[in-house]
Amino acid sequence: MREVVEPRAREAPSALVIVGQPVAQSLSPTLQNAALRHAGRAVVYTRCDVASTALGPAVDDLRRARTGGNVTMPHKEAMFTLAAHTTAAAERTRAVNTFWWDGDTLVGHNTDVDGVMATVAALCSGGVHGDVVVLGAGGAAAAVLVALALSPLTRDARVLVASRTRSRAERLVALAGGRTTALAHMTDVPWAQAGLVVNATPAGMRDSDDVPVPVESLPAHTAVFDLVYRREGTAWVRDAKARGLPAEDGLRMLVEQGAAAFACWFGEPPSRDVMWHALGVPRPDARAPRP
Ligand code: NAP
């Protein structure tokens, strides 16, 4: 029987990893190692590239070494099933992006929810004027749906989930309940009513020119949130800003989910300034006002 626990490690991890495939592009080691050094902690955060078929043995190795860390695609849902103890956020999303050990017991949590909430609060401070459209139905989309339900800015909005694989969207909608509807494909989205569009697919991650939906399809008031991040910004966010739409990529979410994970592992928050500095981009609050 799975036990639901508080999001706080009893013992700080002795090493940290990001588990996923691919992980070479992840900026988590960059920002976490900077924060660890700044906090005077002799812990190193490394990448752990693991195929889906090798996740079980890899987790056994991490257990022996008492290594905690983060989880990225495609393992968030599998890590949820492997965790014997989970937090309320992991239960709600059925996905784990942060883990640690309580003795031999794997504890799974989800701080992507914190990252999404922080970004929605910054991007939509004046409210959301229309539907929220979520593109994709994986582990990150699950965190988006939970955050949308928790945020006072979005909890009354109608939410539409458009996914390549309809069954995955239906599963998420069943978890989210309420005002959430599954759509078969992006071509079914009533774009004219969109107040906020969230990209939770990897579009733009490998091919820097790829966009999840052309911004020309969106009304002039729509806010755009791309979970994908690049130091130089994503093509979708650049296109949206060029059209005058409020838009953010996934860097703020990356920092906020990382800061929340750090606080769970070590019982104290990291320096967000140090994390942003390590990324080499200005902290968004300090960026120039939008056009
Ligand atoms: P995931 O579990 O693999 O789910 C990906 C979703 O995108 C699935 O619904 C998948 O559909 C869909 N998809 C994949 N390729 C697609 C394509 N070419 N066209 C349309 N749909 C496509 O991945 P995830 O963990 O949810 O992550 C999704 C994205 O969010 C990744 O790019 C990840 O880097 C980003 N992310 C960013 C942060 C951050 O801190 N900024 C945090 C978490 C995730 P199928 O089911 O049909 O394959």
Ligand 1 pocket test target in 110, 161, 164 with most atoms within 8 Å of CB: 164
Number of domains the chain contains: 2
Same-domain pairing of 106 and 127: no
d(CA 101, CA 94): 19
CA of 205 to the centre of ligand 1 (A): 9
- The answer to whether residues 237 and 211 touch, using CB atoms and an 8 Å cutoff, is no
Within a domain: 99: yes
CATH of the domain at 10: 3.40.50.10860
CATH of the domain at 158: 3.40.50.720
Same-domain pairing of 228 and 267: no
Helix (H, G, I), strand (E, B) or coil at 53: helix
Same-domain pairing of 49 and 60: yes
Same-domain pairing of 143 and 218: yes
Mean pLDDT by 10 residues, the chain (291 residues): 94 97 95 98 98 98 97 94 97 96 97 97 93 92 94 92 89 80 80 95 87 94 95 93 96 98 98 97 65 35
Same-domain pairing of 135 and 29: no
CA distances in angstroms from 204 to 118, 210, 226, 233, 234, listed in the order given? 22, 5, 9, 10, 7
Q: What is the pLDDT of residue 288?
A: 43
Q: Report, as residue numbers or ranges, the catalytic residues.
A: 76
Same-domain pairing of 125 and 226: yes
- The answer to whether residues 275 and 37 touch, using CB atoms and an 8 Å cutoff, is no
Within a domain: 285: no
CA of 124 to the centre of ligand 1 (A): 22
Helix (H, G, I), strand (E, B) or coil at 194: strand
Same-domain pairing of 33 and 100: yes
CA of 176 to the centre of ligand 1 (A): 18
Range of the domain at 84: 3-110+254-279
Within a domain: 216: yes
- The answer to whether residues 109 and 99 touch, using CB atoms and an 8 Å cutoff, is yes
Within a domain: 284: no
Same-domain pairing of 27 and 151: no
Give the atom of ligand 1 at the shortest distance from the alpha carbon of 163: 9
Same-domain pairing of 123 and 153: yes
Q: What is the pLDDT of residue 274?
A: 97
Which parts of the chain fold into alpha helices (H)? 28-38, 55-65, 76-82, 88-93, 112-123, 139-150, 166-176, 235-242, 251-266, 272-279
Q: What is the pLDDT of residue 76?
A: 94
| pTM, entire model | 0.94
Within a domain: 194: yes
Within a domain: 219: yes
pLDDT tens readout for residues 164-179: 888 888 888 888 777 7
Same-domain pairing of 238 and 138: yes
Q: What is the pLDDT of residue 286?
A: 52
pLDDT tens readout for residues 135-160: 999 889 999 999 999 999 998 899 99
Within a domain: 132: yes
Same-domain pairing of 223 and 135: yes
